[in-house]
Amino acid sequence: MTEKVDHPDHYGGKENIYEAIKVIEAWDLGFHLGNVVKYISRAGKKTKNTNEDLRKAKWYLERYLLSEEETPMKEVKFEDVPDNEMCF
């Protein structure tokens, strides 16, 4: 029997470094964008209905975009970021 809760195959599986939950957490995507990644990564794997998963991803992406239009994230200018917070 395949695992359905802890690291299921349709999300990449435990040994896969690109398992959906690992990517979502590493990139700190939050709820909406995390679900976009989740549904795109499992499209056609959990069920054969790829379009349903992609429509779900689209739905979450549209909700995210609407929420950003209502409450946009603060724009950060390059010169406002302290040198010790630069990632290069």
pLDDT tens digits along 2-52: 555 555 555 555 567 778 888 898 989 999 999 999 999 988 888 788 999
For residue range 32-44, list pLDDT tens digits in order: 999 999 999 988 8
Residue showing tokens 């929420």? 67
Domain ranges of the chain: 9-69
Q: How many angstroms separate the CA atoms of 29 and 18, rounded?
A: 14
As given in the structure block, the two tokens for residue 21 are 């939950």
Residue 41's SS3 state is helix
- In this structure, are residues 40 and 53 in contact, taking their beta carbons and an 8 Å threshold? yes
- Predicted TM-score (pTM) of the model is 0.63
DSSP H or E segment with residue 33:
helix 30-42
- In this structure, are residues 12 and 19 in contact, taking their beta carbons and an 8 Å threshold? yes
